[in-house]
Amino acid sequence: MVAGEQSRWLARADNELTEALAELRRAEVLRAASSDAFAARLGLPAGATLPRLCAAAPEPWSSILRDHLVALRELLADFEAAADESRRSLEDAAPPSNAARLSYEGAVRTAGQVRQLSLDEFLAG
């Protein structure tokens, strides 16, 4: 019974992570389009990083973008720490059933995909 409850919880967590990842991807597309349009107005190429946008933007936008950069880096660090902790918790759980194992592997894979979003590149600089 405990294994069944754990399996159900892991499957739900995997679904929620998958939905959150899909929402992040949609937001990333919108962010990239807006950033590329702003970069073009500043004479920068598409795909310019946030630090490059900060450097090229006039005030007050430069300061506003720098504040966003700091906040986004902090948020990303918090998210990565939470994802690492969740991954360790899932790994320590050692799911006993095949269904739970599959859910566990899906959750770990989904958490890893979050790091592949281009936000990392956008914040680099």
The 10s digit of each residue's pLDDT in 74-113 is 988 888 888 778 777 777 765 555 555 555 566 556 555 5
Is 86 exposed, middle or buried, given 0-12, 13-18 or 19+ CB atoms closer than 10 A? middle
Spatial distance between the Cα atoms of 6 and 93, rounded to a whole number of angstroms: 9
* Residue 52 pLDDT: 95
pLDDT above 90 (res 55)? yes
pTM for the model: 0.60
The structural domain count of the chain equals 1
Highest mean pLDDT among 7-11, 22-26, 31-35, 87-91: 31-35
Higher local confidence (pLDDT), 102 or 66: 66
Range of the domain at 117: 2-123
